[in-house]
C-alpha cells in the first residue's frame, strides 16, 4: 500500500512531503479560502486536499493514493 503524501502549508506555500509545489499564490490562497483554510501554517488533512482538488481543475495534480482518493 502506498503511503499517503503529506501536504502542508509552510510560510504561505504548499508543500508535499517537504518539497514545494509551484502553484501561483493567488490561485492557492483562493482555493484554500474556499476550502475553509483558517490561515495557519501546518499539515492539511486528506479531506481538505480532496476539497482543494474539487475546487479548481488546476489543482487536480494533488495526488492521493487510490484508497484515500475513492471519495474524491
Q: Is residue 55 part of a domain?
A: yes
| Ramachandran region, residue 39 (left: φ > 0; alpha: ψ -120 to 50; beta: rest) | left
Q: Is residue 1 part of a domain?
A: no
Domains contained in the chain, number: 1
Q: Is residue 2 part of a domain?
A: no
Q: How many helices (H) and strands (E) does the chain have?
A: 3, 4
In 1-72, the DSSP E strands lie at 7-10, 13-16, 19-20, 42-44
Q: What is the pLDDT along the chain (72 residues), one digit of tens a residue?
A: 457 789 999 998 999 999 998 888 898 899 999 999 999 999 999 899 888 888 888 888 787 766 655 444
Domain that holds residue 48: 7-69
| Ramachandran region, residue 42 (left: φ > 0; alpha: ψ -120 to 50; beta: rest) | left
Amino acid at each position: 500500500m502506498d503511503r499517503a503524501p503529506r501536504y502542508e502549508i509552510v510560510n504561505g506555500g504548499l508543500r508535499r512531503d517537504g518539497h514545494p509545489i509551484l502553484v501561483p499564490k493567488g490561485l492557492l490562497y483562493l482555493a484554500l479560502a474556499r476550502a475553509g483554510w483558517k490561515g495557519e501554517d501546518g499539515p492539511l488533512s486528506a479531506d481538505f486536499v480532496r476539497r482543494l482538488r474539487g475546487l479548481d481543475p488546476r489543482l487536480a495534480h494533488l495526488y492521493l493514493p487510490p484508497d484515500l482518493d475513492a471519495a474524491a
